[in-house]
Chains A and B, each alone.
Chain A
Amino acid sequence: MDGSMVLPVIIFLPLVGAAAIALIAPSRSTVLKPVAVATSAATGALTLWLMAAFDKNDGDFQFTQLTEWIGSAGISWHVGVDGISLFLVVLTGVLFPLAIVACDPPHDAKAYYIWLLVLETGCLGVFLSLDLVLFFLFFEVVLIPMYFLIGSWGHENRKYAATKFFLFTMLGSALMLVGMLTLALLAKDYSDTGEITFNLIELANSAGELPTITARWIFLSFALAFAVKVPIFPVHTWLPDAHTEAPTAGSVILAGVMLKLGTYGLVRFGLYLFPEASRYFAPLLFTLGVIGILYGAVVATMQRDLKRLVAYSSVAHLGFIVLGIFSINTEGIEGGLLQMVNHGLSTGALFLLVGFIYERRHTRQISEMIGLQKAAPVLAAVFTVVMLSSVGLPGLNGFVGEFLILAGAFVAHRWWAVVAAAGVILAALYLLWAYQRVFHGTPDDANRSMPDLNWQEKLVMLPLVGLIVFLGVYPKPVIERMEPAVNALIEHMEDIEGFESPTVDDRPEGSFEDLRTLTDDYGSDEGEGH
């Protein structure tokens, strides 16, 4: 296959599958699921091929394709993948087929699979777009399939949750559109050609010329859109509703893939386009991240609904990722990126497990479940592994990401890292306590007869658990592919803004004193700038 065609194929293959499903006659409803599984699995296989063919020493965009689309407005079809987006693409490619296999819709299977596949196209498009408008189109259009997934196949409060989800996200992106247009129109004056363009790479070079204040305003408009999507405290309130009310596959995709649209946007369009503004607003953002870690954990502890508990744990985990990204150093950003993948795997798996339990018990209330371990030992074992990954147990994937984030944050902003580390303990508290209440004890009549995982569910959990363990033991294949891109990003930021990113590597072996001087230097450097 020609290298430049692989990304369009990856993006549009699910859409082709959706179109095929739309054409299937109602009388042949049994082939709906196989077609959906086949297309999403084929897409997943292509993303794995992409990972294998990816040049791990190249920090630049690979497999790029650039075609003019709407020439008069400077909009082009421009896609490409680098170490930052690669694993999010793979995560999307892996999670969708698993989510489709794992749960069957109770009604309207045709529309359900169409929306899921359209959603996959949208998510892949967001991660692979290198044109601001193209990115925005995909970023915004994913709302529609998710809106219908929540609204049509969700739980009791689904209409409210779907509308809230839609409006919150749209509110954020509405301002981003204004910011995006302002950026492109102002940057036109600083570009070589004098033509308007939304090309990310060209804008990244000319955006540095913008007046500082203007760039900060535009950054804020972007940051708000991504903050809603992540979600960062205090604009997170749509998340518990949407995640709780969504059908299982919807929750898996929401938590596993769609929250990453926001964090990915912060890295790709926040840090990359606005180095100065990112650094200026970093204290605000990582403080909100830390608040999110603690707030999410405390609220999760209080939940009576198991699904809502997992939803709030996402707020905490995403707080970690934001903290890592806005440490603005290699460790922090790498940790953030890795944690995006980890969170997708572990929270996706948790939502699947909660969904399996719900299908059997028709309740999500923790108080109605007890002693499930006796009734369903395999489910309990899988839940244990996934939960421990979410807690950040060494040897599982969550630990690697959180460690890198805390290392990066410690170098940049020590006390925030100290507080954030407490969040890890809280995560252990709420998850272990929930596990204890649901799985331990003697099962009562309602819980005694709960069936264990069937072969199909085991098949779905197997790759997830395998990846959780693999990334915990041997994260190198992932990190070594991310590193050149992250370094290139930091270099770009240093070029544009002329600041030195603090790194752990500069520090002499084990010297705490030197580390402190380093962070002090960084602090004073920041003070001079403003």
Chain B
Amino acid sequence: MLSIFAQVDIPHIEWLPLIPHVVMAGAAVVLLTIVSVAGRWLPRWFPAAWTVAAGLAVLATAIPVWIRAWQEGPHSVVAGSIGVDGFSVFIIVLLACTVVLTALVSDGFLQRESLDGPAFYVLLMLSATGGIAMASANNLIVLFLGLEILSLAVYVLVAMHLRRAESQEAGIKYFVLGAFASAFLLYGIALVYGATGSLNLIGIEGALRTNDLSDNGLLLAGMAMLLVGFGFKVAAVPFHAWTPDVYQGAPSPVVSYMAAGVKAAGFAALLRVFFAGFGEVADEWQPVIFGLAIASLAVGSLMAIVQTDVKRILAYSSISHAGFILVGVQAATHDGVASVLFYLAAYAAMAIGSFAVVTVVSGPGDEGTALDNLRGLASRRPLLAAGFTVLLLSQAGIPFTAGFWAKFEVITAAVDARSFWLAVIAMLAAVVAAFLYLRIVVAMFLDAPDPDAPRLHIPRGPALAITIVVLFTLAFGIYPEPLLSLADDAWLNLRLRAH
């Protein structure tokens, strides 16, 4: 045994870029320990507060990493398997914010559903740790590990609502399909390794630069498999079939996290592997992304129209948003990557806020998610309805919301890459999608409220979360420059030094 270890070349480990990973994972483990040791003396809100603090701590530790990536340029550490670049830091920050906001939303929900306990928050933070690993992985195995950590925690979170059969069903469904997707991904990694002789993105990129592998069947099959895996995670058509059922069945705060966090991590990994790793053979995968984008836009927007459940509507709309983000991916340019980052940030705010509203409105049992439950919300809870309207208009891409600039940036990237028709189709899909957001607005403002509707209780946590995301949406809708330049500075590049 000892001799084996002697042969293993332990890489030099630089801790600074790993601190966000360690803090997030450590916070989860420590929370579990604290609660199991001293659980009975802690106040009910302790796990939620702890999670919020952990998220904020990750935010703080991301700053030195960002500065370092800014000073030294993008580079890799730990034997080239962890990338230190603006791109990964942007996604880490996004995930940390998602965790903070989801924890705020969850607090009242768990209390209402009598599901209090640390498990929810531990899984949430572990899942985010996986997301952080995905966002910064420069090695396909590290990336796969991150994806599995992220997914396994989410499978459990989806099935978390013990007294709801739909929740269990959604958990099983997501798990079975997700396992398939992971298998595809792993097989794809193996094939890519076969074709390029490397699991490291820098190695893969180098192999593709020095050899012409553009018609290598192994590589193409491997890329296709990887796309299946990532397509599943980001809910792109035709790998979207699970989305409406799982979104509908899963506890509403979990859906907040899935729509914002899991999607962001999925797109981060997709961009890392395809834009940075397979950038040399972009001509091979761009048409596939083109097709996925169109399919997602069309199916997402059109199918949402016939739904009557708000969670299903938002699920299909998240598919449509995935299509929009794929438009930015398809550009395969630095501007395209920046537009994807901006879109992910804007969408995270809208998605968390929207599902937070659904969480509040759905009432005990998390059952009241039909469109009818929103009828007359404007007269029952004017501020909640106004906030939800801002988020919906942002999803529709109406000016002076962050969602407008997200679409603006993505379309700019597409037009700059001369993908005019994709841009046109995306905008047409946005109009179709606007109809479904209007349906929700109509229900809230123009329909008479149900006289028997119970009085809505809005706990402080969700109220705070909704306020934050609405202010975010409006502030960056009016003056998007800071976020735009941040996304623009978040370089995704492997070619500089590898430590």
Binding site for B on A (CB under 8 A): 69-73, 133, 136-138, 140-141, 143-144, 147-148, 151-152, 158-159, 162-163, 166-167, 170-171, 174-175, 177-178, 181-182, 185
Contacts and interface: CB of A to CB of B under 8 A. Distances in A.
Nearest to B430: A174
A52 to B, nearest CB: 32
Given A70-B481, A143-B398, A182 B415 contact: yes
Interface of A is mostly: helix
Contacts of B496: none
A163 B423 CA distance: 24
Contacts of A136: 399
B398 A144 contact: yes
A144 B441 CA distance: 11
A181 B415 contact: yes
Nearest to B393: A144
A67 to B, nearest CB: 12
B60 interface: no
A151 B423 contact: no
Contacts of B435: 163, 167
B431 A174 contact: yes
B442 A163 contact: yes
11 contacts: A71-B481, A133-B408, A137-B399, A152-B446, A159-B442, A162-B442, A162-B446, A167-B434, A178-B427, A181-B408, A181-B415
Given A144-B398, A159-B446, A171 B428 contact: yes
Q: Contact residue range for chain B? A: 20 to 34
Given A159-B446, A175-B427, A141 B411 contact: no
A141 B400 contact: yes
Interface of B: 393, 398-400, 404, 407-409, 411-412, 415-416, 420, 423-424, 427-428, 430-431, 434-435, 438, 442, 445-446, 479-481, 484-485, 488
B333 to A, nearest CB: 12
B427 to A, nearest CB: 4
Instruction: Kindly name the residue among B398, B431, B484 whose own CB sees the greatest number of chain A CB atoms within 10 A.
Output: B431
Given A159-B442, A163-B442, A166-B434, A181 B484 contact: no
A171 B435 CA distance: 11
B423 A178 contact: yes
B438 A178 contact: no
A158 B442 CA distance: 11
Nearest to A214: B420
Contacts of B399: 136-138, 140-141
Given A141-B400, A151-B442, A170 B415 contact: no
Nearest to A141: B399
The 3 closest A-B pairs by CB, nearest first: A174-B427, A137-B399, A141-B399
B100 to A, nearest CB: 28
Contacts of A181: 408, 411-412, 415, 423
A499 to B, nearest CB: 28
A464 B427 CA distance: 41
B431 A151 contact: no
A184 B434 CA distance: 26
A152 B376 CA distance: 12
A170 B431 contact: yes
A425 B423 CA distance: 45
Given A151-B442, A178-B415, A178-B424, A72 B481 contact: yes
A137 B400 contact: yes
A177 B408 contact: yes
B488 A72 contact: yes
A140 B488 contact: no
B475 to A, nearest CB: 14
B362 to A, nearest CB: 24
Nearest to A171: B431
A166 B411 CA distance: 21
Contacts of A138: 399
Contacts of B427: 174-175, 177-178
A72 B484 contact: yes
A118 to B, nearest CB: 11
B445 A178 contact: no
B111 to A, nearest CB: 32
B434 A185 contact: no
Contact of B445 (A133, A140, A148, A163): A148
Nearest to A150: B446
B406 to A, nearest CB: 13
Nearest to B417: A185
A308 B311 CA distance: 39
A152 B445 contact: yes
Nearest to B435: A167
Nearest to A174: B427
Contacts of A171: 428, 431
A1 to B, nearest CB: 25
A152 B415 CA distance: 38
Contact of B438 (A71, A73, A158, A166): A166
A167 B488 contact: no
A70 B480 contact: yes
A86 B55 CA distance: 53
B411 A178 contact: yes
A53 B488 CA distance: 44
Contacts of A71: 481
Contacts of B434: 166-167, 170
A463 B484 CA distance: 48
A182 B427 CA distance: 14
Contacts of B430: 174
Nearest to A134: B399
Contact of A72 (B398, B411, B416, B485): B485
Nearest to B399: A137
A488 to B, nearest CB: 29
Contacts of A140: 398-399, 404
A16 to B, nearest CB: 15
B445 to A, nearest CB: 6
Nearest to B338: A72
Given A70-B479, A70-B480, 9 more contacts: A71-B481, A136-B399, A137-B404, A151-B445, A167-B435, A171-B431, A177-B411, A178-B427, A185-B416
B411 to A, nearest CB: 6
Contacts of B428: 171, 174-175
Contacts of B393: 144
